Amino acid sequence: MTKIKELWKEHPLYKQGVVELVPTAWVWNYWGRDVSPETDLMDGTIVSMDELWQDIKKNGLFEPLIMRVGLNNKKFRLEAGNHRIQVFHDNGIETIPLTVQVREECGPHLGDVMTDATHNFDAGDEILISQITKEYMKPSEVFRSLSKL
């Protein structure tokens, strides 16, 4: 099994205690299928998915993925990490670091989106919280299906 350098453990959100390893298979259900076919590295270089995977294997993973939740419109989406989830899934990596950004509203129509994908998912009764107490939270504090982490 491939071992990825966990450089994301140096990220400020991890140090705040709001990042958890979650099953890659869970995140895989919620990525943006219409995201661009290429992505950028930390230095801004545009690369293919294969090049992204090679870079992660060589240099490690620097940032957690971000799932954004909108409490008022009852939507959520993978806001940052749509390319990384693909290469983790395709290469059999079982867990991936994730944090949840809690907002009043979530969706591709907002001005501060981090992805060009148009996906959005209905939260239904999946969301455990009803008000914003902090901007970022652990996934297990927000999603019913992850609450047993």
Per residue in 107-129, pLDDT tens? Answer: 999 988 888 899 999 999 999 99
Kindly state whether residue 64 falls inside one of the protein's structural domains: yes
Kindly state whether residue 32 falls inside one of the protein's structural domains: yes
Q: Are 142 and 149 in contact (CB under 8 A)?
A: no
The model's pLDDT over 95-112, given as tens digits with 9 standing for 90+, comes to 999 999 999 999 999 988
**pLDDT band (50, 70, 90) for residue 1:** low
* Segment 27-32 mean pLDDT: 96
Kindly state whether residue 94 falls inside one of the protein's structural domains: yes
Residue 116 confidence (pLDDT): 84
Number of domains in the chain: 1
Least confident of 48-57, 78-87, 108-117: 108-117
Kindly state whether residue 1 falls inside one of the protein's structural domains: no
Residue 128 confidence (pLDDT): 94
The model's pLDDT over 3-23, given as tens digits with 9 standing for 90+, comes to 899 999 999 999 999 999 999
| Separation CA 8–CA 80 (nearest Å) | 14
Tokens of 89: 């899934």
Kindly state whether residue 33 falls inside one of the protein's structural domains: yes
Kindly state whether residue 13 falls inside one of the protein's structural domains: yes
CB burial readout 25-41, b (16+ within 10 A) else e: ebbeebbbeebeeebee
Say yes or no to pLDDT of 2 above 90: no
Q: Which domain holds residue 100?
A: 7-146
Q: Are 47 and 38 in contact (CB under 8 A)?
A: yes
* Segment 51-74 mean pLDDT: 96
Kindly state whether residue 2 falls inside one of the protein's structural domains: no
Q: How far is CA 25 from the centre of its chain?
A: 12
pTM attached to this predicted model: 0.95
Average pLDDT, the chain: 95
Residue 117: which of 26, 33, 24, 30 has the closest Cα?
A: 33
Kindly state whether residue 65 falls inside one of the protein's structural domains: yes
Say yes or no to pLDDT of 138 above 80: yes
